[in-house]
Each structure stands twice: as structure tokens, then as C-alpha cells.
């Protein structure tokens, strides 16, 4: 066994210089069997580094304690970065099993650091003399973040309570992993196979071509539809067959509540109970109070104030939107599986604009050039594909990013299409964050991952308008990562408060409907004809179509999240009944019994948005307010862009987010900009 491990370590790429462009990960050399020994070695090295800090004979100071701690665990960080990013974008049963095996071990390792009394004594000693250390603003932020991190991870607890914290956090990490794995497996398990073409009327030809190819790939006759976004969303919009729409909608909305091994209801009860126990152990009344202490919103009263303010403003319009679709459909019992179908038809009748009309102008390669070109116009960035940079899947592309003077800034990976090993949705992540060590600026390696419509045998990948919008959103996150210019990695890029992190992403969505932006890339993939001005006018006119209904849908997720995380005692009742009550104030369409949002709500129960889903609406207020500056000065105004880059994108979390925002905007944001943009307030 020793020989095998030694031999494996000798060939393990994590233990050697990468010898790759910009020191990117050598994905072509990393194998599944490399992860476990690399995790184990990473923990050993970090333990030694922590011990060196503790046994340092010198008086604790900022450099020998706080900075040394910041730089510890480099190998473990590398291994974790690759492993968990792959588990989201290109997982396997083996990776999933390893994550479950390693979760309690890694949690224990993390707890051994955060609950180490000798280490905390040194951190506390430095923090105690913070006013005498003559630190920069960024150093002050790192010191406070480090100290608070220990306290919020149980460092001030009694020995007995520390053991309780260890047990609870280990169990919580395992359950949140299990939750996400259940959602992916349940999603992959479902197939709707249709063999009679007359049941598929209304569905676009290229969509059917993709469905036929999927069926053939699975060894089935006919057309195959699944629960991934490029399959589910168009089916719900265009399929004339209401019974099939209902069947697919029901499958989507009953994920992980059917009983059996992938049922997440008990996981929800356990996850929220564990979060509550941890929060109360640390002295908070509930988990939301614990989370919001480190958010712009500060407390749950401010969150509910925003949600209630938006609900009051948008609900009357949302009810009218529902009535309009109901009247158009001539259906008194308009149901959830009817909504997208009839909404799309009404939108087409009112504005004569739809995805099938627009998709030929949104070829993925051209959209990519348009999005990259926007970054060039705003920030002077240049993107050059480098095929020598290893990637983790043949569909992934890697780009080197340079500033307007040709200086290297970042590596950007793009991964656009759904696969069985990729979770649903779209996200930005990093493989390496930006930092400066000993005068060297280590530039970031950023990735954007999406689930866009694939090319077919006869057509290139043609995106919907919403997919273009999603691309811009995730690219905004990528800019936040790529343009980071700070000293400490834990403060760099998107390592900011959750209710601030969506500002750089959501502001980019404002360009989606701007003619000057669309003119730069939107041409018909066959004829080369520019997207007609008339279409752009219709896009603008339709921008606020059913916007209030969409707002209430988002608010329903926010209220559901807050309801689970403002519990004062563990919930042991019916998860579906709890959900119905939590979302009641936002309900527009009839509630369907036996369905659930929470059971597949990865953001909240498997991701980082617990007691934080409101962040999307919070940041929407910020982005509408911030974009008004671009509207006033010109949407490509370099001076405005430079200010946004300098005050928001480059600063990470080196200063409080409201301080950074006011430096850009000159004032605190108000809700008025969002209400005006959405046509709610004239």
C-alpha cells in the first residue's frame, strides 16, 4: 500500500510544478485517483503551517499571524478548487462518492483550525491592538474578517459547545452535499419520450431536431425531452399539447419529493434544524440573524422591509398581468403549466417578438464576440483563445485576457452546454483568485458555466434572448473576478457580501436590449443581415412584459428562504404545507398540491444563498440605480466605466460595500430607479 501511494504521489500533478501557461491547472493530467491523496497531503501541509504560526516565538503581529494564516493551505485550496468545480460542471458517481467520503474529514480539518485555542489567542492578540498597528484599510478589513471568522466558527465557545459545533457542522456539510447530488440525479433520471409527431405541434423544428438526436443517443425512438433548461423551457413555451406540458411541469416541480433515495424533504428539515442549532449555539436567535450580520441588509427587518415594499408595489400589476393572460387564453382555470405557453403567445400578439424570430440573430459565437466586445468598449479588455491551455472537457474553451495596453489580466474558461455531469443553471467560479505576494501579482483564473441550447446537425448554437441575458449576467461576475486588484485573495473578486455580489452581474443585463450593443454582433447566422431596428424596438417595448409577475415569482423564493431561516425552533411538520404558507402572499397562479420549490432549491439548501436569496432583489435595486449613471453619461462612456471598475469591480471586499457604492454613485441607492425601469412608477 505504501509503494502504491508513493508511486501515485510521484505522478500526482498536484505535487509538482504545473508547467502550463499562467500556471493553470493541468486538467489533461489530473485523474480522479489523484484527488484523495492530494486532499490528504494538503491537510497535512496546512496543519504544519498552522503549527508554525502557533509556535512562532515572536510576539503575534499582523504579518506573522494574520498574513501567515491568509497564505496557509495553498495546496488544499488548489485541490478543493478543482474538485468542487468539477463536481458542479463535470461530475461522476466516483467524484460524488469521494465528496461524501471527504466531507466529514475536511469539515473536521477546518474545525481543527477555527477552534484551535492557541491559534485564536494569537489572532485575538493582534485584533486587540488593531488601533495601534497603523494598518491600511485593506489590512484592517482582513484583520476584522479573520477575527470575526473565528468567532463565527465557534472560537469563543466552551469546550463542550465546541464539540457540539464540530458535530453539527460536519453533519450539515454532508447533508448539503447530499441535497445537491439528489437534485442532479433526479433531474438526470427523468425522460419524456414522445413517439407520435402530431403530439408535438407548436414546437420549433430545430428544437425537435435536438430532441430527436437526444432520443437516438439514448437508443430510443421518437423525441426525448428532459428537465434541463434548454429542453424544459422551450417545451413549456411552445408545446400546444397541454397534457404533455402538464406532465413535464409536474415532473419538474415534484423533483425530490416522490419518496425513495432522492427525496429531499427530510434533508430540508435536518439542514434548517442544524443551521438553527449552530446559530443559537453562537448566540443568535435564528440562522438569518447569524447570516445577515455579514450582509449589506444587516438584519431580517431590513430584508422584509425590501421584500414587502416590492410586493406592495408589484402585486397589483402582477394580478393585472395574470388577468390579461387569462383573458387571452380564454381559460378561467389558467394553471402553472399554461402560463409560459399563453404568455408567450400574448407577448407575440402584442409585440410580434419571440425567441424563434430572434434566435437566428443570436448565434453563440457571435454573441460571445459581442459580450467580449462590450468589455473591450467599457474596460479596454482583449480576449485571445489559447488552445494550449488545458481544459476539463472538450467543449470548454480557454481565453487569455489582456488590458488595453496588452498587459495580461486573467484566464477565462467558457463552458456553455448541458451534460449529464453538469448541474443545472448558470454560474461563475474561479480556479484561482487574484492576490499579491512579495510584489508579485497572481492573476485570476475565472470560469463561466452555463446550460445553453446546443448546436444541431443543421444549425449552430442559436441562443434565446434570455440566454443572451444570462451570458451577460455571468460575464458580469467574471469581470468582477478578472478585474480584481487587491492584495489578499480572501478579499478579492467576488469574495464580497452576497447582497453585493450580484451588482456587477445584474448591471450587465441592462445592455441586452440596447440597440448600440445589439448592433455590434446580432446578425442573421445565414444571411448576415443585421438584427432589424424594428425588432430592437419590439424587444424594448416587450422588456417589461409580465415583469411584475416575474418579480413576485422571485419574491416567492425570497420569502420561502427567509421563512425557513427565521425559524426559532426546528420544524418537524409537512415541508409542502410550510412552503405553501411561506409563499402565499406572492401566489398569483393557483397553487398545485404535491409540488415543491424547496426540495430542488440548490441555491439555498446546497449553495451559499441560505437567508440570502433576497440578494437578487437587493442587487436589482443597486443595478437599476447604478445603470442610471451610464444612461445619463452614455452606455459606453469610458469615464463612467472607469469609475465602476475602480470603485466596484477592482476593490473586492477591501472596504464596506456601501462605501464603495456611494463612491461610484455619490449617494445611497433608492428603489425608484427599479420601479421606473420596470414601468411600475411613471
| pLDDT tens-digit series, residues 363-398 | 999 999 999 999 999 999 999 999 999 999 999 999
Contact 609, 275 (CB under 8 A): no
Measured CA to CA, the distance from residue 264 to residue 276 in angstroms comes to 18
- Contact in structure between 99 and 83 (CB atoms under 8 Å): yes
**pLDDT number for residue 84:** 96
Q: What is the pLDDT of residue 6?
A: 52
Distance CA 432, CA 441 (A): 12
Residues 151, 236 contacting (CB under 8 angstroms)? no
Q: 344 with 256: CB under 8 angstroms?
A: no
Is residue 104 scored above 70 in pLDDT?
yes
User: Is 529 an active-site residue?
Assistant: no
**Predicted pLDDT at 9:** 66
| Non-local CB neighbours of 632 within 8 Å, separated by 6+ positions | none
Residue count of the chain = 682
Band of residue 208 on the pLDDT scale cut at 50, 70, 90:
very high
In this prediction, residue 4 carries a pLDDT of 45
> What mean pLDDT is predicted for residues 289-304?
97
CATH class of the 359-500 domain in this structure: alpha beta
Q: Which residues pair with 223 in a beta bridge?
A: 194
Alpha-carbon separation of residue 226 from 181, 198, 241, 420, 659 (angstroms): 17, 19, 16, 11, 46
pLDDT digits (tens, 9 = 90+) for 145-184: 999 999 999 999 999 999 999 999 999 999 999 999 999 9
Average pLDDT, the chain: 96
pLDDT for 288 beyond 50: yes
Measured CA to CA, the distance from residue 338 to residue 325 in angstroms comes to 10
Is 109 in contact with 43 (CB distance < 8 Å)? yes
The Cα angle at residue 403 between residues 398 and 406, in degrees rounded to 5: 90
In the chain, % of residues over pLDDT 70: 99
Mean pLDDT of 342-346: 97
Whole-angstrom Cα distance, residue 606 to residue 14?
Answer: 27
**442-480 per-position pLDDT tens digit:** 999 999 999 999 998 899 999 999 999 999 999 999 999
pLDDT one-digit tens code per residue, 316-329: 999 999 999 999 99
Query: Domain residues of the chain, as ranges?
Result: 2-156, 190-253, 359-500
- The full DSSP string for 321-351 is HHHHHHHHHT-TT--HHHHHHHHHHHHHHHH
Identify the helix (H) or strand (E) that includes residue 501.
Answer: helix 498-501
pTM of the entire structure?
0.93
C-beta of residue 46 within 8 angstroms of C-beta of residue 72: yes
Q: How far is CA 336 from CA 52, 292, 299, 340, 560, in A?
A: 60, 33, 34, 8, 18
Q: Would you say 79 and 98 are in contact if contact means Cβ atoms under 8 Å apart? A: no
Cα separations in angstroms, 485 against 413, 479, 637, 643: 20, 12, 22, 14
The CATH class, in words, for 2-156 is mainly alpha
CA separation for the pair 582, 567 (Å, rounded): 12
> Taking the CB of residue 673, how many other CB atoms lie within 10 A of it?
20
With bands split at pLDDT 50, 70 and 90, how would you rate the model's confidence at 10?
low
Give the helix, strand, coil percentages of the chain, each rounded to 5.
Answer: 60, 5, 35
Tally Cβ neighbours within 10 Å of residue 511: 24
Tens-place pLDDT, residues 508-545: 999 999 999 999 999 999 999 999 999 999 999 999 99
Cα 13 to chain centroid, rounded: 29
* Torsion (CA) 336, 341, 345, 346 in degrees, nearest 10: 10
Q: In which band, very low, low, confident or very high, does the pLDDT at 2 lie, cut at 50, 70 and 90?
A: very low
Report residue 331's pLDDT band, with 50, 70 and 90 as the boundaries.
confident
Q: Cell numbers for 353, please give them.
A: 417578438
> Cβ distance 385 to 369 under 8 Å?
no
Catalytic residue among 474, 509, 514, 620: 474
Q: State how far the Cα of 299 lies from the Cα of 284, in Å rounded to an integer.
A: 12
Residue in the block written with cell 435595486: 621
Among 168, 381, 121, smallest CA distance to 276 is for 168
Q: What 8-state DSSP symbol labels residue 355?
A: H
- Whole-angstrom distance, CA of residue 54 vs CA of residue 60: 9
- H or E, element range at 602: helix 602-605
* pLDDT 10s digits, 572-630: 999 999 999 999 999 999 999 999 999 999 999 998 999 999 999 999 999 999 999 99
Rounded to whole angstroms, how far apart are CA atoms 490 and 142?
Answer: 8
C-alpha dihedral, 39 to 44 to 49 to 52, nearest 10° = 170
Once rounded to an integer, what is the mean pLDDT over residues 40-53? Answer: 98
- The Cα 153–Cα 165 span in angstroms is 8
Cα torsion 250, 254, 255, 261: sign: negative
Cβ atoms of 501 and 603 within 8 Å: the answer is no
Tell me the pLDDT tens digit for each residue of 231-250.
Answer: 999 999 999 999 999 999 99
- Give residues with Cβ within 8 angstroms of 123, minimum separation 6: 60, 65, 66, 69, 146, 147, 150
pLDDT at 292: 97
Residue with cell 451570458: 471
Amino acid at each position: 500500500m505504501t509503494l502504491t501511494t508513493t508511486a501515485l504521489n510521484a505522478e500526482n500533478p498536484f505535487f509538482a510544478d504545473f508547467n502550463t501557461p499562467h500556471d493553470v491547472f493541468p486538467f489533461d493530467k489530473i485523474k480522479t485517483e489523484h484527488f484523495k491523496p492530494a486532499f490528504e497531503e494538503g491537510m497535512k501541509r496546512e496543519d504544519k503551517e498552522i503549527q508554525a504560526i502557533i509556535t512562532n516565538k515572536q510576539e503575534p503581529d499582523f504579518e506573522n499571524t494574520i498574513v501567515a494564516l491568509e497564505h496557509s493551505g495553498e495546496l488544499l485550496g488548489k485541490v478543493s478548487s478543482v474538485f468542487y468545480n468539477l463536481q458542479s460542471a463535470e461530475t461522476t458517481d466516483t467524484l460524488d462518492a469521494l465528496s461524501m467520503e471527504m466531507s466529514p474529514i475536511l469539515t473536521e480539518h477546518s474545525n481543527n483550525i477555527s477552534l484551535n485555542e492557541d491559534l485564536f489567542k494569537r489572532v485575538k492578540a493582534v485584533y486587540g491592538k488593531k488601533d495601534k498597528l497603523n494598518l491600511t484599510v485593506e489590512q484592517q478589513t482582513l484583520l476584522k474578517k479573520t477575527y470575526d471568522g473565528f468567532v463565527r466558527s465557534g472560537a469563543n465557545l466552551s469546550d463542550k459547545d465546541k464539540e457540539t459545533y464540530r458535530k453539527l457542522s460536519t453533519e450539515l456539510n454532508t447533508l448539503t452535499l447530499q441535497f445537491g447530488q439528489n437534485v442532479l440525479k433526479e433531474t438526470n433520471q427523468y425522460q419524456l419520450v414522445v413517439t407520435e409527431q402530431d403530439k408535438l405541434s407548436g414546437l420549433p423544428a430545430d428544437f425537435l431536431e435536438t430532441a430527436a438526436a437526444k432520443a437516438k443517443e439514448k437508443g430510443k425512438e421518437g423525441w426525448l425531452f428532459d428537465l434541463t433548461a434548454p429542453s424544459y423551457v422551450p417545451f413549456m413555451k411552445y408545446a400546444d399539447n397541454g397534457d404533455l406540458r402538464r406532465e413535464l411541469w409536474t415532473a419538474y416541480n415534484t423533483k425530490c419529493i416522490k419518496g425513495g433515495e432522492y427525496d429531499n424533504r427530510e434533508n430540508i428539515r435536518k439542514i434548517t434544524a442544524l443551521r438553527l442549532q449552530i446559530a443559537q449555539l453562537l448566540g443568535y436567535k435564528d440562522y438569518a440573524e447569524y447570516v445577515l450580520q455579514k450582509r449589506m441588509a444587516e438584519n431580517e427587518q431590513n430584508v422584509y422591509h425590501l421584500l414587502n415594499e416590492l410586493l406592495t408595489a408589484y402585486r397589483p400589476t402582477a394580478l393585472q398581468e395574470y388577468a390579461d393572460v387569462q383573458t387571452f387564453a380564454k381559460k378561467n382555470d389558467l394553471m402553472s403549466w399554461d402560463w409560459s405557453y399563453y404568455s408567450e403567445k400574448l407577448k407575440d400578439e402584442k409585440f410580434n417578438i419571440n425567441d424563434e424570430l430572434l434566435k437566428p440573430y443570436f448565434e453563440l459565437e457571435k454573441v460571445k464576440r459581442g459580450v467580449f466586445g462590450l468589455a473591450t468598449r467599457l474596460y479596454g479588455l482583449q480576449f485571445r483563445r489559447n488552445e494550449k491551455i488545458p481544459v476539463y472537457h472538450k467543449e470548454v474553451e480557454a481565453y487569455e485576457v489582456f488590458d488595453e495596453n496588452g498587459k495580461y489580466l486573467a484566464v477565462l474558461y467558457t463552458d456553455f452546454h448541458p451534460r449529464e455531469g453538469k448541474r443545472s443553471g448558470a454560474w461563475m467560479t474561479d480556479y484561482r483568485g487574484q492576490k499579491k505576494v512579495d510584489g508579485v501579482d497572481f492573476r485570476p483564473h475565472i470560469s463561466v458555466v452555463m446550460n445553453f441550447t446546443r448546436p444541431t446537425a443543421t444549425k449552430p448554437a442559436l441562443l434565446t434572448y434570455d440566454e443572451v441575458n444570462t451570458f451577460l449576467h455571468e460575464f458580469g461576475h467574471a469581470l468582477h473576478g478578472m478585474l480584481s486588484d487587491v492584495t489578499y485573495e480572501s478579499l478579492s473578486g467576488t469574495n464580497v457580501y452576497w447582497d453585493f455580489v450580484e451588482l456587477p452581474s445584474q448591471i450587465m443585463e441592462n445592455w441586452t436590449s440596447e440597440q448600440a450593443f445589439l448592433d455590434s454582433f446580432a446578425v442573421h447566422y445565414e444571411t448576415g443581415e443585421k438584427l432589424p431596428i424594428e425588432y430592437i424596438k419590439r424587444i424594448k417595448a416587450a422588456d417589461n412584459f409580465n415583469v411584475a409577475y416575474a418579480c413576485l415569482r422571485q419574491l416567492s423564493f425570497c420569502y420561502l428562504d427567509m421563512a425557513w431561516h427565521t425559524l426559532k425552533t426546528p420544524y418537524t411538520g409537512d415541508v409542502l404545507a410550510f412552503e405553501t404558507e411561506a409563499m402565499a402572499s406572492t401566489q398569483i397562479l393557483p397553487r398545485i398540491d404535491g409540488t415543491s420549490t424547496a426540495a430542488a432549491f440548490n441555491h439555498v439548501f446546497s449553495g451559499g444563498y441560505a437567508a440570502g436569496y433576497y440578494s437578487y432583489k437587493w442587487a436589482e435595486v443597486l443595478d437599476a440605480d447604478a445603470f442610471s449613471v451610464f444612461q445619463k453619461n452614455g452606455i459606453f462612456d469610458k469615464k463612467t466605466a472607469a469609475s465602476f471598475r475602480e470603485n466596484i469591480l477592482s476593490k473586492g471586499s477591501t472596504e464596506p460595500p456601501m462605501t464603495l457604492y456611494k463612491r461610484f454613485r455619490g449617494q445611497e441607492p433608492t428603489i425608484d430607479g427599479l420601479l421606473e425601469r420596470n414601468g411600475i412608477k411613471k
